[in-house]
Amino acid sequence: MSLSLPVNDNFNRLLEELKAFGEKATELASLNESYQQFIERFPAKKLSSLTLDEYCIGKGTGDSFCWWLERGIEPALGRYMPGTSRGHIIYFQPNGDVYKHKALSNLSDSEALAYTLKIQAEIAKAADDEDWRWVDDDDELYRRAGVTDRLVTIGHGRKLRILSAYHPDNVVPISSSAHLGHFLMQLGFPKDELPSEKQPVSRMLLLRDYWKMACQIVPNLTLTGFMHGLYSPNLGLAPTKDMTIENELHITLTDGAIRNGYISIPKNQTLFPQEYIADHESSDSKQFVLKLPDNSQITTCLLSNKNRIKARFNSLFKRLQLTSGEQLVLSRLDEGVFEMRVSHEDSDYDAGEDAAVVSVAPTNQERSPLNQILYGPPGTGKTYETIRA
């Protein structure tokens, strides 16, 4: 086997770390007891026929498909968290009612379940030897699933999680497109050649090629072992909370931030140029435009003495019903123009990919908050964003 991906010193450091892992580098997810329990209960051929009780999280019994996907197989494939139950598209609410994604609100509970199961089952039954990049293309996913009313698909992170859940020894178990892109660049892949964050599977396959290269140096290295190496604290390659990933800054909300309407910005951020940072509230600085998740926008700046955005967002946080632990993602759209969206990174390796991303037919509906997915060994979580229906 000959691969010609560009590498840097981080790749060599990773190899040395993996060599020192011993048996940990050769762990197979498929042999993990928790994984074997999951696949026996939820084989791919059964997925499209699950009942609401079998699929939905929310009853606290810990025996649903969504619970297993999120928590049950964590010992084998690391942590995956959609941020809130909304990432599962359908779930049981505390009063026993069924929550359905807004795009599915005109369907009955059973119809909505059948709809999303068609899409998820199509990914689960993908063959090991096929080119999985079709999963990145929602139009192709709809076509293969036989879905004619294209209401809502699933997020980037969930696509990755389902692929890894049904191909545990052939997928890099990282359910975050942003994390995948981060690691690719950490190992030497050119930023300008990186697939879009909307192409999580393409990113995963590239990172898997780095694993194949590592296998030539580290005998019997598994994808699980490779993943543990990437997140090893000894290397410092993993994304951390409140850091810039690619062209994004991920900010974890606290109770105090939500209560006071603040968005804290770390001093070491690289997203906002110095010209947009004022010394204090009464000093002058250049203003930037910040586009908000509800389609409005404001003009503001950063305050260096308080390490936050000058504007307050109490009403926005209230409208979006944000809670502690949820994340905001700030990104640069153009010179002096930035965007805020909502994401989720509930894990020890906060900062991650996408999760429930929606693809809908054009309508005049308002935006609704959506979810994103995350990974983690113990995890990385991510993204809930508002998308026009």
Judged by phi (left if over 0) then psi (alpha if -120 to 50, else beta), residue 58 lies in left
- 3-state DSSP assignment of residue 119: helix
Which residue has 């490779």 as its token pair? 226
Give the per-residue pLDDT at 250: 79
**Would you state the structure tokens that stand for residue 54, as one six-digit string?**
């079998």
Predicted confidence at residue 241, as pLDDT, reads 59
- Residue 384, pLDDT above cutoff 50: no
Q: Which structure tokens are listed for 229? A: 């190496």
The stretch 330-352 carries a mean pLDDT of: 65
How many Cβ atoms from other residues are within 10 Å of residue 270's Cβ?
Answer: 10
The C-alpha atoms of residue 57 and residue 44 are separated, in whole angstroms, by 19
Instruction: Choose the most confident range, by mean pLDDT, from 35-44, 51-60, 177-186, 231-240.
Output: 35-44
Identify the burial level of 23 via C-beta atoms within 10 angstroms of its C-beta, where 0-12 means exposed, 13-18 middle and 19 or more buried.
exposed
Contact 135/126 with Cβ under 8 angstroms? yes
Q: Which two tokens stand for residue 1?
A: 């086997």
Phi, psi of 360 (to 5 degrees): -135, 160
* DSSP symbols for 274-301: GGGEESSTTS----EEEE-TTS-EEEE-
**Residue closest to 173 by CA, chosen among 20, 374, 18:** 374
Position 84 confidence tier, pLDDT thresholds 50, 70, 90: low
Beta-bridged to residue 299, according to DSSP, are 289
Please say whether the beta carbons of 23 and 218 come within 8 A.
no
- pLDDT the model gives residue 366: 31
pTM for this one?
0.70
Taking alpha carbons only, the member of 172, 232, 210, 171 closest to residue 24 is 232
> Between residues 357 and 289, which one has the greater pLDDT?
289
- The partner residues of 300 in beta bridges, in order of sequence, read 288
* The pLDDT of residue 251 is above 90: no
Say whether pLDDT at 242 is over 80. Answer: no
Report the mean per-residue pLDDT for the chain: 83
Tokens of 272: 């906002």
274, HSE (Cβ side, Cα atoms, 13 Å) = 0
Say which range, 61-65, 217-221, 283-287, 348-352, has the weakest mean pLDDT.
348-352
E strand or H helix at 16: helix 9-19
pLDDT tens digits along 69-81: 988 999 999 878 7
Reported as a pLDDT band with limits 50, 70 and 90, residue 342 is confident
